[in-house]
Structure 1
Amino acid sequence: MKVVIVDDTHINLVLMSRLVGKLEDVETVTFQAARPALDWCNSQPWDLLIIDYMMPDMNGLELIARLEGGVHANARERPPVLMVTASMDVEVRHRALENGASDFLIKPIDKVEFLARTRNMLQLRRATVGLRAEVGKATAELRAREQETIMLLARASEYRDPETGAHILRMAHYSQLIAAELGLSEQEQEDILNAAPMHDVGKVGTPDHILLKPGRLNEEEMIVMRQHARMGYDILKGSQARMLQLAADIALTHHERYDGAGYPNGRAGEDIPLAGRIVAVADVFDALTSRRPYKAPWTMEAARRYLEENSGGHFDPRCVAALLARWDAVREIRARYQDDEQGA
């Protein structure tokens, strides 16, 4: 464990450092001024900060307030802080606790009390770090199971739909590109990448004579086909997993249109969830550039013009612009994930 000690008096630094050095598996880092200590603590990992209250350049209260966001920092994430002060002023103690101090000691330091409190705070820190590691491991395992479920369901729809193939991989990566260009967080980008393959899972409920028809569908058949959006939502909506909840929203809304002329609910504009608007662009773009039983693949440039012409009508303009802004990456994705007989 790494203990940072800050005191403007050299002898106090030596005393506290030697006392802390008696503890097992502990390394000390000392500073005789607050500002360099603050810079170090905001750039390096540490496990306990022991800090004097009265210092000339910046007092202990100010240092604590500026640690990783100051008083607004997440108390559960910040390591413990032990303030040492000669002041008996109750207001100082209250301000120290409000600014994020975990405990405080009154000078002159009692060696037994100092060691006991330091030891206890480090034990608590070890327990917190261990618990956080276990939670992270459990979360990673849960996300892995969610992703496995998603891919198994996506594979089920792929077996029934001959149009799928590498389509789900391409459109998922196109969706991630759009999310990245729109400024979504890395976690949100990953969520969309992982949930997008579920967009057509509802096709498992579409009759074969419609799903596998080599030509275009008539009006009655199209009505049945369009039910796959609602079916996909119904399959996924009951899950408590966040990823599958996102996949349910995508399944339901990726055929909605920005102008309100889509299905199944005729939602428009930003009333359509952003993930659905993103996937709508990625899905149609890849469908246009892929071979289908009823059509040859469009060229990349022809599909690009289609997106531009239908921006603000079928598609969210921001999502179209985001995909086109990453055009080189779009070409790379298309080249990487090809069907057995991918067209030009």
Structure 2
Amino acid sequence: MGANPPTILIVDDTPENLSVLGELLQPSYRVRAANSGRRALQIALGTPTPDLILLDVMMPEMDGYAVLAELRAAPATRNIPVIFVTAMDGTEDEERGLDHGAVDYITKPIRPSIVLARIRTQLELKQARDILHDQNSYLEAEVVRRMGENQLIQEVSIHALARLAETRDPETGKHLRRTQEYVLTLARALRDNPRFSGYLDERTINALAQSAPLHDIGKVGIPDHILLKPGKLTPEEWEIMKTHAELGSNAIAQAEADADKPVEFLAIAKLIARSHHEKWDGSGYPDGLAGDSIPIAARLMALADVFDALTCKRVYKPAFSFDDAYRIIVDGRASHFDPDVVDAFVREYPAFMSIAKMYAE
């Protein structure tokens, strides 16, 4: 039985019965005895918790059924197996006991070999249940740990990709972080708006923030003489520059096709990469989408991206003041941007300014 023998609690109001059972069990088990239901419950709730209880049914004050009901009600004793011991031989009583949650039934006068065999069976079953329970708890903890690890790997990979795009476009240092925070701010501000609430649940908002840094990944495919040109682009160069939206979305679509099953943030990243230069009035690129046909994620990204471009110095322009940038965004309401997204920006403008300052170049 190992170093610590199992503890068995025997409950009976007759002293002779207790001593008979005690003598039978003492050699192999640690035995606790109680001569009333109340006392049995005290011992069961103490330490060590009994591994098994042999419970007399017919006792004054509190019978075995009442004791069993209380054992089942308390979390600490709920899983202790209980074997009823009784002089009654009616099958209804046996059924009633099993219905109330007893695991077995032994009739008096007891036969030692049967008692020992049934106790052994119930203890083995309990041990198996405990092992299974511990294993399940371990597995659940392991699943949580691995999910966290996967999440981390995913975030690091996205950032590595986004940084790769940055190495080609050196002026975007903390641009990724700022635009990510701007998008998150807009998404949270719009989640209760009936036009957006169906889409912007907690999960989607997280995936949105995660995929935002990939919006310009397509710039990797733009030739240096255009991407790094210190002045204004010619119309032909501008047409090539505009292809970064499609290049990015195609690359992400390719990654999606390689995955065995849909990856939520990739689906959103693809929409953002392709459509963050679309305009509310349909004058944007690459698809000339207008109004609600522009994906919500891309509408949020469009405003975040423009605000950041305006407030930062670029080779082709100086940085605008926050107030000028604010006015330009508000002027673009219902022409460049979704009106509700602009209204959210107006409400969250102080947050935009603090993000810009926190992640300044």
Q: Is the TM-score greater than 0.5?
A: yes
- Residue 166 of structure 2 corresponds to 158
- TM-superposed CA distance for 1:246, in Å, is 2.5
Contact map agreement 1:311 1:320 (CA 8 A) in 2? yes
Q: Report the secondary structure of 2:317's partner residue.
A: coil
Q: Report the secondary structure of 1:21's partner residue.
A: coil
Residue identity in the other structure for 1:22: P
Q: Whole-Å Cα distance in 2 between the matches of residues 294 and 179 of structure 1?
A: 30
Greater shift in the superposed pair: 9-18 or 260-269: 9-18
Q: Whole-Å Cα distance in 2 between the matches of residues 10 and 271 of structure 1?
A: 71
2:244 aligned residue (220, 228, 231):
228
Deviations 1:87-119 (A, max 9, x none): 979xxxxxxxxxxxxxx9513724669877766
- TM-superposed CA distance for 1:128, in Å, is 3.0
1:135 aligned residue (143, 155, 159):
143
Q: Whole-Å Cα distance in 2 between the matches of residues 170 and 308 of structure 1?
A: 20
Q: What root-mean-square deviation, in Å, do the aligned CA atoms of Structure 1 and Structure 2 show?
A: 3.7
- TM-superposed CA distance for 1:140, in Å, is 1.9
- The alignment status of 1:22 with 2:50, answered yes or no, reads yes
Q: Report the secondary structure of 1:266's partner residue.
A: coil
1:195 aligned residue (206, 211, 225):
211
Contact map agreement 1:47 1:122 (CA 8 A) in 2? no
- TM-superposed CA distance for 1:148, in Å, is 1.7
- Residue 63 of structure 2 corresponds to none
- Residue 237 of structure 1 corresponds to 253
- TM-superposed CA distance for 1:230, in Å, is 0.7
2:335 aligned residue (302, 313, 321):
313
Q: Map of 1:328-343 to 2, 5 A cutoff?
A: 328-339=350-361
- Residue 250 of structure 1 corresponds to 272
Deviations 1:121-161 (A, max 9, x none): 55444333322222222222222222222111111111111
| CA gap 1:276/1:106 in 2 versus in 1, 3 angstroms | same
Q: Map of 1:41-56 to 2, 5 A cutoff?
A: none
Q: Report the secondary structure of 2:233's partner residue.
A: coil
Q: Map of 1:105-120 to 2, 5 A cutoff?
A: 106-107=99-100, 109-110=102-103
1:126 aligned residue (128, 134, 141):
134
Residue identity in the other structure for 1:163: E
Normalising by the residue count of structure 1, what TM-score does the alignment of the two structures yield? 0.66
Q: Whole-Å Cα distance in 2 between the matches of residues 233 and 142 of structure 1?
A: 23
Q: Whole-Å Cα distance in 1 between the matches of residues 317 and 280 of structure 2?
A: 25
Q: Whole-Å Cα distance in 1 between the matches of residues 77 and 298 of structure 2?
A: 46
| CA gap 1:294/1:17 in 2 versus in 1, 3 angstroms | same
Q: Whole-Å Cα distance in 2 between the matches of residues 261 and 270 of structure 1?
A: 14
Q: Whole-Å Cα distance in 1 between the matches of residues 162 and 152 of structure 2?
A: 15
Q: Map of 1:158-307 to 2, 5 A cutoff?
A: 158-183=166-191, 184-239=200-255, 240=259, 241-307=263-329
Residue identity in the other structure for 2:349: W
Contact map agreement 1:254 1:280 (CA 8 A) in 2? yes
- TM-superposed CA distance for 1:258, in Å, is 2.2
Normalising by the residue count of structure 2, what TM-score does the alignment of the two structures yield? 0.63
- TM-superposed CA distance for 1:336, in Å, is 1.2
Contact map agreement 1:256 1:262 (CA 8 A) in 2? yes
- The alignment status of 1:327 with 2:349, answered yes or no, reads yes
Contact map agreement 2:44 2:50 (CA 8 A) in 1? no
Q: Whole-Å Cα distance in 2 between the matches of residues 318 and 125 of structure 1?
A: 51
Deviations 1:60-112 (A, max 9, x none): xxxxxxxxxxxxxxxxxxxxxxxxxx9979xxxxxxxxxxxxxx951372466
| CA gap 1:22/1:303 in 2 versus in 1, 3 angstroms | same
Deviations 1:294-327 (A, max 9, x none): 2221111221122222122211222222233222
Q: Report the secondary structure of 1:263's partner residue.
A: coil
Identical-residue share of aligned pairs (%): 35
Contact map agreement 1:146 1:244 (CA 8 A) in 2? no
Q: Whole-Å Cα distance in 2 between the matches of residues 230 and 121 of structure 1?
A: 57
Q: Map of 1:54-73 to 2, 5 A cutoff?
A: none
Contact map agreement 2:45 2:77 (CA 8 A) in 1? no
Residue identity in the other structure for 1:175: V
Unaligned runs of 5+ in 1: 1-8, 25-29, 51-85, 90-103, 340-344
Contact map agreement 2:280 2:338 (CA 8 A) in 1? yes
Unaligned runs of 5+ in 2: 1-36, 53-67, 80-92, 105-118, 192-199
| CA gap 1:223/1:107 in 2 versus in 1, 3 angstroms | same
Contact map agreement 1:229 1:252 (CA 8 A) in 2? yes
